[in-house]
Amino acid sequence: MPQENESRGMIPARVMIAEAAIRVIAQQGFDVVSVRTVAQESGISPGTVQYHYKTRRDLLLAALERSVERQTQRVMAARGQNGYRAFLARTLRELLPLEGVRREDAAVWVSFGAAASTRDWLASVYWQNLQIFHEGVLNVLRRAQEDGKLHEGLTPDTAAPLVTALVNGLALDHLNAPESVREGTEQALDRGLSLILTD
């Protein structure tokens, strides 16, 4: 969906189409994505959608790429908290299914993770994006270790998979949970991080 301060005409068609594909995945499911459904969601003609993305696979990959780009932008904008745990909690909350585009992107991530288990062409792309996330977490944990902020018995290499599992698990568990459960998502993230980082 266009940002509030932008008109539809200022957003490139490829971005509008990719974001429409994200909404189709989040609202109707991975397998519903097609030129027709994305055209209907975007308000762009099917011919224009197919001009930019020749196949359904192209549309799906564009949705994943755009979703990862949106998440990265939010994470970068959320930096600045003092303390490693506060920093990770603030940035990683941007990946949780809290509301609006956060929920859309979490739904895309969960959908692609499930789809990648049975589609070889998607598995490598999904894994590459997961490794970028993992490496970012690993870099923070390396600095935390240097400052003595990792819990005893943990190393960056053993702690990073715990952090990624925490975020992915919360996204999966809370994506379609009742509102009363989703309200505790951020607290659950902080509790999990407190088992890994002292500060």
The per-residue pLDDT for 4 is 32
The backbone torsions φ and ψ at residue 84, rounded to the nearest 5 degrees and listed phi first, read -65, -40
- Note the helical H segments in the chain: 13-28, 35-42, 46-52, 56-77, 84-92, 100-116, 120-146, 156-174, 179-182, 185-194
Q: Which of 31, 36, 97 is nearest to 67 (CA)?
A: 97
Chain center to CA of 73: 11
Three-state DSSP class for residue 150: strand
The more confident residue out of 82 and 85 is 85
User: With b meaning 16 or more CB within 10 Å and e meaning fewer, what string describes 166-196?
Assistant: bbbebbbebbeeeeeebeebbebbbebbeeb
CA distance 89 to 84: 8
For residue 93, the Cα-to-chain-centroid distance in whole angstroms is 10
Whether 81 has a pLDDT exceeding 70, the answer reads no
Structure tokens given for 30: 């991975």
Q: Which of 22-26, 76-80, 97-101 has the highest mean pLDDT?
A: 22-26
Over residues 22-41, mean pLDDT: 95
Per the DSSP assignment, residues forming a β-bridge with 197 are: 150
pTM of the model: 0.85
- Report the share of the chain in percent with pLDDT over 90: 83
CA distance 189 to 102: 15
Per-residue pLDDT tens digits for 116-175: 999 999 999 999 999 999 999 999 999 999 999 999 999 999 999 999 999 999 999 999
What's the gap between Cα 124 and its chain centre? 17
**Tokens at 109, concatenated:** 């991530």
When computed from its CA atoms, the radius of gyration of the chain, rounded to whole angstroms, is 18
